[in-house]
Amino acid sequence: MSQGTVLVAGAGGFIGGHLVRDLIGSSSRVVAVDCKPLGEWHQVFGETENVVADLREKDVCYSVVEGAEDIYNLASDMGGMGFIEANKALCMLSVLINTNLLLAARDHGAQRFFFSSSACVYSMLKQTSADVTPLTESDAYPAVPEDGYGWEKLFSERMCRHFTEDFGIVTRVARYHNVYGTHGTFEGGREKAPAAICRKVAEAKLFGSREIEIWGDGEQTRSFTYIDDCLRGTRAIMDSDVDEPINLGSAELVTVNGLVDIVEEIAGTSLERRYDLSAPKGVRGRNSDNTMIRERLGWEPDTPLRAGLEHTYRWVHDELAARPGLVGQPAVSG
């Protein structure tokens, strides 16, 4: 654990904002960087040095990395399935961020470098059934990742590996599996399934609707990782001796229909389901094999989905309810 300067790239995002809050107090200086205007950051903290800058620019990376001991790279242009399927080039351009941060880390002598990868690196050929076999770390090869976003993450993993081999930089890589929680994106097109479902159910409650739109047939399966587990795992992996990519995800598999069931129960409602079979659906099934993280860290994400969704739904509902007069129509994005 660093007692010196820690840099969080992508600090204005969902996971980045939570990580910054978690790091305050354990580091003498936290530098938070994001390209979004400060008013659009998910969370902002006065105890940190907040920098608005585009990390796709090499000179920017060299400027913010100077003096940093630990670097957490959570910065990327991404969103839910609706976004990444329609913006493959933008997702690929995030490779510039990781490349330039690694170069700056090498040249400025940073001690440790964390890269947030994704379960989207895993072979699409192993995710064709809803009754999916949990994905182990070796399932990333032979490489058939999610087009665009998955390829960028897999390439950036290799960059970390080779910077370790060639330059001796200590790098750590976690493959995140569908992280959700409070202070996340829940509308606008970049939201992921748990946030989208929470928003749709909350809107139905607030606006008196009796139906909900679901992308696909609802039988596609996923595991969803609560933000508190993601933070604990991220910091544990950073401080560990695990020098290869490792899964960071819940192993609690659920269908999208099951996800809706849970949120409806939390909200105390039951809605008619309208299925959009033409909408982006992603792979048919995905789950995390946690054998490695249990063996190497003696722990795995263990927050029950019901508990995490309770917090998430209440937060989304309250955010919507706080809007003046509830004027306007419910959001219609995924």
The catalytic residue positions are 149
Question: CA 112 to CA 99: how far, in whole Å?
Answer: 15
Contact 170, 164 (CB under 8 A): yes
**In whole angstroms, what is the distance from residue 274 CA to residue 216 CA?**
10
Lookup result for tokens 């989304």: 316
CB of 226 closer than 8 Å to CB of 303? yes
Distance CA 122, CA 118 (A): 8
Q: Which two tokens stand for residue 97?
A: 């961020």
Task: Kindly state the tokens that stand for 114.
Answer: 């964390």
- What is the C-alpha to C-alpha distance for residues 20 and 73, in angstroms, rounded to an integer? 12
- Helix/strand/coil percent split, the chain, to 5: 40, 20, 40
Helix (H) or strand (E) holding 6: strand 5-9
> SS3 of 267, please?
helix
Q: Residue 333: helix, strand or coil by DSSP?
A: coil
Task: Show Cβ contacts of residue 328 under 8 Å, excluding neighbours closer than 6 positions.
Answer: none
Length of the chain: 334
